[in-house]
Amino acid sequence: MSENINPEEIQKVLSDVEGQVDTVSGKAEETVETAAAPAVEAAPAAEAPVEEVSEPAAVASGPAAEAAPAEEPAKADSFADKTLAELSDLFVQLKDSAERMSRSKEAEAIKSAFYKLLGRLKGESGVSETEESSQNNPFEAVEQNFKALYADYKKERAEFNKQQDAQREENLAKKQAIIEELKAIVEGQDDVSAQFPAFRELQNRWREAGPVPATAFRDINDTYQFYVEKFYDMVKIGRDLRDLDFRKNLEAKEAFCEAAEKLAGNENVVSAFHELQKLHEQWKEYGPVAREKREDIWNRFKAATAVINKKYQAHFEGLKEQQADNLAKKTALCERTEEIAAREITSSGEWNALSKEIEEIQAAWRRIGYATKKDNQKIYDRFRAACDAFYSRKRDFYSGIKDNMNENLEKKLALIEQAEQLKTSTEWKKATDQFIALQKQWKEIGPVPRKKSEALWKRFRGACDEFFAARDSHSGGENDFYGNLRAKRKVIEDVQNYVPGEDASANEEAMRGFADRWQAIGHVPFKEKDNVARAYHDAMEEKFPGFAAQRGGQIRSGRAPRSPKDALIEKYNKLQQNITTYENNIGFFSASKNSEPLIRQMEERIEQAKAELKELEVQIRKAEEGEA
């Protein structure tokens, strides 16, 4: 409005004015109502949808109306699945961002999540809170780094707040000076209507002054509004001047309506809602429009506000439904994990399989979004407890196995010491029985730590091998089964190469010689026994037709034939020797990973030999009774 107004024209206008003009206070202007914010965890309490209120400060009471846009509250539990390194990186990104000063809640949430995770990891690894050496505290480096980052941020934040406080104090001083100027206009003796340009200038300066300290906000604004209203009560300006002011206010409020309508189409409903709050604050800074346009302009602005508020409400209602669904999914995962953690598990294979299943459950958990705010931390704590219970039982299981392996290690070391003391013994039968007993005990002892298993086995087997080698050497090679097999095959070859002559006595002498050589040779491997015996008898039958009739002990270098009882006793002794050999073999086979079939074969032969021994005992008793 032009400041060069002719006083005579103003006086003429004033003379035509009847009564006081309408004020631009909230009493004469449309007001802003504030609806309750959606009852959703993500909607801050101070950011309620704005509608009509009964007084100017109701839209956003306190300094929030003048300060920077409210910071979106950070959720501390939104960082629960992050590692220490990831939380440190997030804090660095926040600290380097341009809007870091408006993200203090997020900074505190990251800090809370960091120290909560650090405390849990220290507890799980047994690190004491008083341990400061990096040798005892593997988390020292990352903890000190985070402390330095946070201290740096807090220092910068404190400086920023200090500057903001100083600026608000400066703004307060400006507004107090404006009020004093306004008071002087209102209480002055000059024609108030002539001061209208100065009054408008004060209003502009007031809007540009910026926020003031929270403690002074309401008083300073109430005082300002009081003198504004008093000015309009006292001034009697002409209708032309008032209409000009109304037109300016209408233009400004139409711009606000257009901005609000544009925001109504914004897909980011949260951002649109925050921008709407600013429009409502700016709306309050302008005075009234012509009476006939007041309702229309306000209804237009309120309609755009209602659209945004409705979308905002629907947005958080949708979040509530999604969060409820997420809670149900997470509850199901908790129940599944708790069931696994409570199972009776007795083998490493089961633990490994279930560990993989737990890892899959944890991956599924991370893919699910947040639950409702009141339940999110509770459900996470429940899931964490179930996982901890499972892994705690797993650690106990493997700790028990380790203890058992150490006990087995001590037992096998004791057997090794006995074997090493016994390996030089020349009491062959007694020592053989003792070695067989040691080998049986060795087989019955469970596993030992893998890194020591091979060394223990080599040491034990070395003592056994040394004794049995000495025993076999002392016995003249009678237990050299494969050497005996080669010797018997040589006898068979010689028989097959023999050409019988016409002299019957010479043929008989040759037959006895072959028989004596055959009988002097010891045992052959069990699996070759039948084949080599059959080949020998076939060769002898072919070269000496009378051989079959003389079997039974007649051909023995002129010695007297054995009695039936002697033959039974000899067979009995050989079976006992076979059983000893089989049991000895089992002791050696038990150390091999692929020896199960051989061990079963030896056990079957032992059982068969023992059954034959019982039959031979009966036959020997009968033979003794016959001799009697």
State the pLDDT at residue 620.
78
Q: Which tens digit of pLDDT belongs to each residue from 22-54? A: 333 333 333 333 333 333 333 333 333 333 323
Please report the pLDDT score of residue 298 as a whole number: 92
pLDDT given at position 191: 66
Most confident of 165-169, 574-578, 583-587: 165-169
With contact defined as beta carbons under 8 Å apart, do 74 and 113 qualify?
no
Average pLDDT over every residue of 584-609 = 70
- The Cα 300–Cα 293 span in angstroms is 11
What pLDDT is recorded for position 304?
81
Q: What is the pLDDT of residues 389-414, one digit of tens each?
A: 888 888 877 776 777 788 888 888 89
CB 443 within 8 A of CB 488: no
| CA-CA-CA-CA torsion sign (312, 316, 317, 321) | positive
Across the range 506-521, mean pLDDT stands at 86
Say if residue 373's pLDDT is above 70: yes
Residue in 498, 501, 532, 499 with CA at minimum distance from that of residue 518: 532
Q: Round to whole Å and give the CA distance between 289 and 294.
A: 6
**Please, which residues have CB within 8 angstroms of residue 180's CB and are 6 or more apart in sequence?**
none
Whether the pLDDT of residue 2 is over 60: the answer is: no
CB burial of residue 28 (10 Å; 0-12, 13-18, 19+): middle
Mean pLDDT for all residues in the chain: 75
Instruction: Kindly tell me if the per-residue pLDDT of 4 is higher than 50.
Output: no
Residue 590: band (very low, low, confident or very high) from pLDDT cuts 50, 70, 90: low
Question: What pLDDT shows up at residue 492?
Answer: 93
- DSSP states of 35-88: PPPPS-TTS-TT-PPB-B-SSGGGSSTGGGGTSSPPPPPPPGGGGTT--HHHHH
**pLDDT greater than 70 at residue 484:** yes
Q: Which residue has the higher pLDDT, 262 or 137?
A: 262
Relative orientation angle of helices 564-589 and 450-474, to the nearest 10 degrees? 150
What mean pLDDT comes out for the span 78-87? 82
Per-residue confidence (pLDDT) for residue 177, from 0 to 100 = 94
Mean pLDDT of 483-509: 86
| Whole-model pTM over 0.85 | no
DSSP 593: T
Which stretch of 77-86, 130-139, 277-286 has the lowest confidence by average pLDDT? 130-139
Q: How far apart are CA 353 and CA 456, in angstroms?
A: 31
pLDDT cut 70: percent of the chain above it: 76
% the chain with pLDDT above 90: 5
pLDDT bin (cut points 50, 70, 90) of residue 387 is very high
Q: Which two tokens stand for residue 569?
A: 């006793």
- Categorize the per-residue pLDDT at 128 as very low, low, confident or very high, splitting at 50, 70 and 90: low
For the cut 50, the answer to whether the pLDDT of residue 537 exceeds it is yes
324 vs 315: CA distance, rounded Å: 14
Query: Is the pLDDT at 210 greater than 60, yes or no?
Result: yes
